[in-house]
Structure 1
Amino acid sequence: MTQQTAVVKTGAAPFLDAMLGTDTSLSVLNPETGEWDSKTWRDVHARSVEIATALLDDRDRAAGAAVGLIGDPTLDLIAAIPAAWLAGVPVSMLPGPIRGADRRRWAQTTVDRFASIGVGTVLGGGDQLDLLGETTTSLRLASAAEYGVGVDTSAFVAAVTGPGDPAVLQGTAGSTGDPKTAVLSMAAVWTNTAELIDRLDMRRDRDAAFSWLPLYHDMGLTFLLAGLAAGGRMYVVPNTAFAAAPFKWLDWLTETGATITGAPNFAYDILGKYGRLLQSADLSRLRVAISGGEPIDPDAFDRFLAETARFGFDPAAAAPAYGMAESTCAITMPEAGEGAVYDEVRVTGPEGESRLKRYATLGRPLGGMEIRIVASSVEVPDISGREVGQVQVRGTSMMTGYLGHEPLADDAWFDTGDLGYLVDGRLVICGRAKEIVIVAGRNLFPVELERAAATVSGVRRGGVVAMARGDDSPRPGLVLVAEFRGDDLDAARSAVISAVASECGVVPSEVILVAPDSVPRTTSGKLRRLETRQMVERGELS
């Protein structure tokens, strides 16, 4: 049976057909050599068939059905994603250890997580795979670079699957609680990808996509799949390479001639803050730069636009978006060329004080997705002319449900936990219902308090957590935990109190300054506010 005939029998057919229908290539940066490893999408597909053949041969010997992936992206690791679908099983990718982590404890946690979601075979490479091997004998571990190489694929027959079968087991961020695993069907993954391609008008004869986003994150995986399904040139850099040298992002965009890229807001913030130090780059070919994954600071984003204008970046390419793992990824996205648009509003506090604020508009819902705003379960600040409430979503990109929980009904509205409103059908996010800080009867968005504190010299932007101690606490009021680099702690505390009081109209009762990288984060870099609160309550941060 030919590969093309085999593809027809699997729910992954749209992705696999796209790989076979183009002569363009996938290129992955090798951090050790600094060179690009490249294969045509057709050759990547052939490698997927090899891996799928081996997976089907090994299925009876594996402890679980799903395929796990670990380590930096390579051509082989990426090929393993459609390979799992050809073998009729879902795929799940987990992150490696972060800086400062106990690596053996990470290995045990990762083994336990893979086992709990039904993974039987784990493909990867490097010391991460070695660490897992020292920790478990229950999982089948194999090098992605070697697995299935040279196997006879002449009689390969793809597993029969349908659009409702699970394709991805996606970990959620868990920034306000325990992480869960979203079960994403093949139909949901394909629909989200196809609608993203349509909204951004991605064309194989024009576009080159570039990403350093980690594949274990929903944004990174969906960006990769969009590049694959669009059939154009695709360039992937390991997230570790970006973390080691963030400004290389501009060099890679210049070198590859990328037309589409994406990143969380903090990456644009870095370029805006330190862009004056950059000497050269060519961003003139970029027509879409997605910003998602965390709240957008309009002032910081404007600094990015100002700094990159001299490198030819077109402000119309900016694409602030909104999404979540439970919806595969993207929920809203502006049209290509719409640029960053802000809604300037007047926010009035409970005592009648008001101030002007700007919030980024995040585009209209993708095809098949719906958004509604419902009454909030918590009191929210009054925004003139806007109906603020909790954001709920439903549609064709939604997960089947959380693994081990009741499935989500097809027509059920899912509460995102975010607060927002609509302007001409475009979504605006202004906070989280679970993260509202209540101090002396006042309801405050933590992100605003955190940004104000981060204006103080030495305080790390993106390293501040705002929380409220209740009236039953020995010291009720607003508490700020801030990562700080410097010698004069007393002066820094005074400056933070002054900045927050001036910007937000509330005086913190306590400012806890900690060393850089002390505030816990999720694998995608988001602040874990619940865990930080618990650490403060236990006296572990002081």
Structure 2
Amino acid sequence: MPSPRLLQPLAVPAGKRALDVLPALRRALDGAGPALLPIPEDAAPADALGVGTPVEDDPADPTALVIATSGSTGTPKGVLLSVSALRASAEATHAHLGGPGRWLLTMPAQHIAGIQVLVRSLVAGTEPLAVDTADGFRPDRFAEAAEALATAGPRYTAMVPTQLSRLLGDAGKGLAELRKFDAVLLGGAATPPALLRRAVDEGVRVVTTYGMSETAGGCVYDGVPLPGAQVRIDDGRILLSGPMLARGYRGRPDSPAFANGWFHTGDLGRWADGRLEVLGRADDVIITGGVNVAPLPVERIIAEQDGVREVCVLGVPDPEWGQAVVAAVVPADPGQPPSAEALRAEVRRLAGAAATPKDLVFLDELPLRGPGKPDRRLLAERFAR
């Protein structure tokens, strides 16, 4: 009887050095190496994930990666991704995009969106490159890496809306190089419609993605499920299934999130013209004065207004209303922010009084967590102060 496979940490450097993990990742995808827990190079693995202990496994389909995800709760969960799930995701992506190509890594590779860029490269047999992010994501560094990626075949990259916004705002060589990519996968956070329209107008081939670590990354592209992926709406909640589905959570064999072969997301959604429309997290719904307010539609209204670059809408405790709707806005020009009252008036006109932010503040940047999602917990603390 073979010895049980143990979970081992995979220290992931930042920037260009992230490519150093490729040999270990290749062995994991071949089923020859240990199951790997990607973590930042300077971080210690969470004790709760059981590093050094036997991993939930299947000899016929080994667990290749355990992706740590805590969401907004701070409690780590380990998503068990098998070799077949990772390969199915990579192959479905290439099938949707029109074939394998070379990939440019722009995001931290300890997160699923980043490490999938490397997985897709290994599955395709192509050599990836990475952007130098030693001093943060910069358009000039992106341009340098994109130029070095020059190839006769397709070129792909993946990024979050904040990175796309910086490249569009720079309007220099970084944007010129971005236009040359055959596809720019955009995920990690909801994409403001105005940002998406601007990217299209600038000639950027954006593909919006929806998925999470539990589905080995994006499994719905531009609202359409990838080959093999399945989507169901149950009482407003989005459920996902398919060959790219994780086998479950580390140490939680009976998690209801994976009941009956479907991953029960915490997201609300609906079908619109045959495409999946994500309405936001169910947990983020604000109950103010007995009225349910979904933040995403309010964010879309504010993001459409002149002078707004980014926005996050959330609920904070309020003694009168139970929760109050508040908004943090990043202006396009910090020196000339739009009128807060004009933004509130537009929300009131289009979404009603209950959805109108009772407090609205301007920030230089939104605090982020993970690969690029607004950190609502930190923002709530800021409003509390």
Q: TM-score range by the shorter chain?
A: 0.7 to 0.9
Q: Say if 2:85 is the partner of 1:225.
A: no
Q: Does 1:432 align with 2:281?
A: yes
Shift of 1:495: 5.0
Asked if the contact 2:315/2:323 (under 8 Å) is kept, the reply is no
* Alpha-carbon offset, residue 475 of structure 1: 7.9
Tell me which amino acid in the other structure corresponds to 1:245.
Answer: R
C-alpha deviations, 1:456-504, integer Å up to 9, x for none?
Answer: 8887625x3421545x448853223456796899x96545534543554
Distance in 2 (CA, whole Å) between partners of 1:280 and 1:492 is 29
Match of 2:67 among 162, 170, 177: 170
Which secondary structure state, in structure 2, belongs to the residue aligned with residue 221 of structure 1? helix
SS at match of 1:94: strand
Q: Does 1:362 align with 2:211?
A: no
Who is 2:195 aligned against? 300
One-letter amino acid of the counterpart of residue 214, structure 2: E
Whole-angstrom CA distance in 2 between matches of 1:74 and 1:476: 42
2:175 & 2:281 partners in 1: Cα distance?
A: 39
Separation of aligned partners in 2, 1:74 and 1:510: 41
Q: Give the match's secondary structure for 2:277.
A: strand
Counting only pairs closer than 5 Å after superposition, residues 277-426 of structure 1 correspond to structure 2 as 281-282=176-177, 285-307=180-202, 309=203, 313=204, 317-333=205-221, 361-363=222-224, 365-375=225-235, 389-407=236-254, 411-423=260-272, 425-426=274-275
In structure 2, the residue matched to 1:265 is 161
CA positional deviation for 1:174: 0.6
Structure 2 residue 236 is the aligned partner of structure 1 residue 236: no
Q: Could you say which residue in structure 1 is the equivalent of 2:104?
A: 210
Query: Which of 10, 14, 24 is the equivalent residue of 1:80?
Result: 24
After superposition, the Cα gap between the structure-2 partners of 1:176 and 1:528, relative to the gap in structure 1 and judged at 3 Å, is: farther
User: How far does residue 240 in structure 1 lie from its aligned partner after superposition?
Assistant: 3.9
- The residue that corresponds to 1:24 in the other structure is none
After TM superposition, the score normalised by the length of structure 1 is: 0.59
- Quick one: distance in 1 between partners of 2:147 and 2:357? 45
- Residues 1:70 and 2:2 are matched in the alignment: no
SS of residue matched to 1:270: helix
In structure 2, the CA distance between the partners of 1:474 and 1:197, relative to structure 1 (3 Å rule), is: closer
C-alpha deviation, 1:215, in angstroms: 0.7
In 1, the alpha carbon distance for the partners of 2:328 and 2:179 equals 40
What residue in structure 1 maps to residue 142 of structure 2? 249
Instruction: Say if 1:163 and 1:186, in contact at 8 Å, map to a contact too.
Output: no
Deviation of the 1:91 alpha carbon: 0.9
Larger Rg: 1
In structure 1, C-alpha distance between the alignment counterparts of 2:244 and 2:62, rounded to whole Å:
14
Rate the CA distance shift 1:301–1:260 in 2: closer, same or farther, 3 A: same
1:246 partner amino acid = P
Instruction: Report what 1:521 is aligned to.
Output: 368
Shift of 1:330: 2.2
RMSD, aligned CA: 3.7
Distance 2:107 2:280 in 1: 24
Q: Percent sequence identity over matched residues?
A: 24
- The answer for the alignment partner of 1:467 in structure 2 is 315
Deviations 1:266-325 (A, max 9, x none): 3223333442x5598355642222122221222211112223x3xxx5xxx332221111
Deviations 1:494-529 (A, max 9, x none): 45534543554333223355x545x64313121232
Distance (whole Å) between structure 1 residues aligned to residue 169 and residue 293 of structure 2: 26
Q: Please report how far the alpha carbon of residue 165 of structure 1 lies from its aligned counterpart in structure 2 after TM superposition.
A: 2.5
Q: Counterpart in 2 of 1:118?
A: 50
Question: 1 CA distance for matches of 2:85 and 2:174?
Answer: 43
Is the CA contact (8 Å cut-off) linking 1:173 and 1:523 kept in structure 2?
no
Q: Would you say the 8 A contact 2:69–2:213 is kept in 1? A: yes
Counterpart position of 1:133: none
One-letter code aligned to 1:304 = A
- C-alpha separation between the residues in 1 aligned to 2:21 and 2:352? 51
Distance in 2, Cα, partners of 1:75 & 1:475:
48
Gaps of 5+ in 2: none
For residues 368 and 458 of structure 1, what CA distance do their matches in structure 2 show? 41
1:204-250 deviations in whole A, cap 9, x for unaligned?
xxx32222122111111112111121113422224446x34135424
- Name the count of aligned residue pairs: 370
**Whole-angstrom CA distance in 1 between matches of 2:334 and 2:199:** 26
Change over 3 Å in CA distance of 1:71–1:234 after alignment to 2: closer
Do 2:223 and 2:276's aligned partners in 1 also have CA atoms closer than 8 Å? Answer: yes
Deviation at 1:530, TM superposition (A): 4.0
| Residues 402-434 of structure 1, C-alpha deviations (whole Å, 9 max, x = no match) | 122125668432221112222465322122222
State how far apart, in whole Å, the 1-side matches of 2:118 and 2:323 are: 46
Q: Distance in 1 between matches of 2:168 and 2:336?
A: 27
Query: CA contact under 8 A between 1:395 and 1:410: conserved in structure 2?
Result: no
Contact 2:156–2:184 (8 Å) recurs in 1:
yes
Are 1:69 and 1:91, in contact at CA under 8 Å, matched by a contact in 2? no
Secondary structure, in 3 states, of the residue corresponding to 2:65?
A: strand
In the alignment, is residue 191 of structure 1 matched against residue 88 of structure 2? yes
